[in-house]
A and B are shown apart, each in its own frame.
Chain A
Amino acid sequence: MVPAASGPRRVSVVGVIGELLITGGVLVFLFLGWQLWLNDLVVGAGQNSAGVTLSHNLRGSAPLHAPATAPPTTKISFGDPVVAVAPGDAIQFAVMYVPRFGSDYARPISEGVGTTKVLNKNGIGHYPGTQMPGAVGNFAVAAHRTTYGAPFKPLATLQIGDKIYVQTKDGYFTYDFRGLEYVKPTGVGVLEPVPEFPGVPATDRVLTMTSCNPMFSAQERIIAYAVLESWQPTSAGAPAAISATVAAKG
């Protein structure tokens, strides 16, 4: 038996410093785990359920599927899209569906691109002053590619012809993905009515999505372009490709 030391055991300075350093290292890993995984999951799930709820509110009592009056092979045209007026800052006004990002992907789009009010909380933000969904010109949005739910994490996986659906209170807008571009953070030309061509009068209805590039960096921006392919009013029901997501319970 070793005799117990008399009096309080001495705490060595080196020992305390060592334990503090180990503690600091553990804290760094805890923070990374929280930032890159836990917070991402929690915020992302919150955005998805907010998108589903918003989708129900936008649809109201309109039917999910179009009444079967026309043969499904017939392409119905609904004329020019109904374009909404931009709402106030941080107000959610639309839902984005991207089947390529997952069958349950439904993220709300809010007015404004403020970091704390929109991007870190609601997800996707609409650049104020750019056009609204369905309008001739440029409907430009921004969202995180890493952290805070990362709505645009798989942005670079989009392929030619992928559909991006935007639902407003007026209807469903189907955009056709065209291509990616990489610009400096000052590349505001991507927000022009005709992207990268200031002053040129717009004829197309473009969707522009911006995010950070490379991932985990603020050095550049990744830009995804899509062009409006078709639209259908809320009363005509949701496009078949997203009707299951639109019908999801919040």
Chain B
Amino acid sequence: MYGALWRVLPGPVWVRVLLMIALFLVILTVLVLFVFPWLNTFVNVNDVTVGT
């Protein structure tokens, strides 16, 4: 999987490394901004009120 990605990326080694890092940062940004907040709404460790 990652091996295939590495072979698909163009350019010399240092360009590929930079591309991999950039790709990771883009995915991380999407996770932090959209996926994690959505996922957190299902994590029920946060009940702080009393009620029936």
Instruction: Report if A85 contacts B (CB, 8 A).
Output: no
Q: What is the bound-complex CA distance between A103 and B45, given in angstroms?
A: 28
Given contacts A15-B1, A20-B1, A35-B40, contact A30 B31 (CB under 8 A): yes
Given contacts A9-B7, A11-B4, contact A34 B36 (CB under 8 A): yes
| CB contact between A146 and one of B7, B28, B44, B46 (< 8 Å): that residue | B46
Instruction: Report if B43 contacts A (CB, 8 A).
Output: yes
Interface residues in A88-141 (C-beta closer than 8 Å to B) = 113, 115-116, 119-120, 125, 127
| CB contact between B50 and one of A16, A19, A30, A183 (< 8 Å): that residue | A183
Min CB–CB distance B32 → chain A (angstroms): 6
Tell me the nearest residue of chain B to A190, going by C-beta: B50
Q: What is the bound-complex CA distance between A152 and B51, given in angstroms?
A: 19
Tell me the nearest residue of chain A to B45, going by C-beta: A216
Q: What is the bound-complex CA distance between A218 and B49, given in angstroms?
A: 10
Min CB–CB distance B3 → chain A (angstroms): 7
Name the B residues within 8 Å of A15 (CB-CB): 1, 3
Number of interface residues of A (CB under 8 A): 42
A–B pairs, 28, beta carbons within 8 Å: A16-B1, A19-B1, A30-B28, A31-B31, A34-B36, A35-B36, A35-B40, A113-B49, A115-B46, A119-B48, A120-B46, A125-B49, A142-B49, A142-B50, A143-B48, A144-B46, A144-B48, A146-B46, A152-B48, A191-B50, A210-B48, A210-B49, A211-B48, A212-B46, A212-B48, A218-B46, A218-B47, A221-B48
Q: What is the bound-complex CA distance between A31 and B28, given in angstroms?
A: 10
Min CB–CB distance B13 → chain A (angstroms): 17
Instruction: Report if A148 contacts B (CB, 8 A).
Output: yes
Interface residues, chain A, with chain B CB atoms under 8 Å away: 9, 11, 15-16, 19-20, 27, 30-31, 34-35, 38-39, 113, 115-116, 119-120, 125, 127, 142-148, 152, 183, 185-188, 190-191, 210-212, 216-218, 221
Interface residues in B20-47 (C-beta closer than 8 Å to A) = 28, 31-32, 36-37, 39-41, 43-47
Number of interface residues of B (CB under 8 A): 23
Q: What is the bound-complex CA distance between A113 and B48, given in angstroms?
A: 9
CB <8 Å contact, B44 and A218: yes
| CB contact between B45 and one of A27, A120, A127, A217 (< 8 Å): that residue | A217
Min CB–CB distance A16 → chain B (angstroms): 5
Q: What is the bound-complex CA distance between A211 and B47, given in angstroms?
A: 8
CB <8 Å contact, B49 and A127: yes
Q: What is the bound-complex CA distance between A34 and B7, given in angstroms?
A: 31
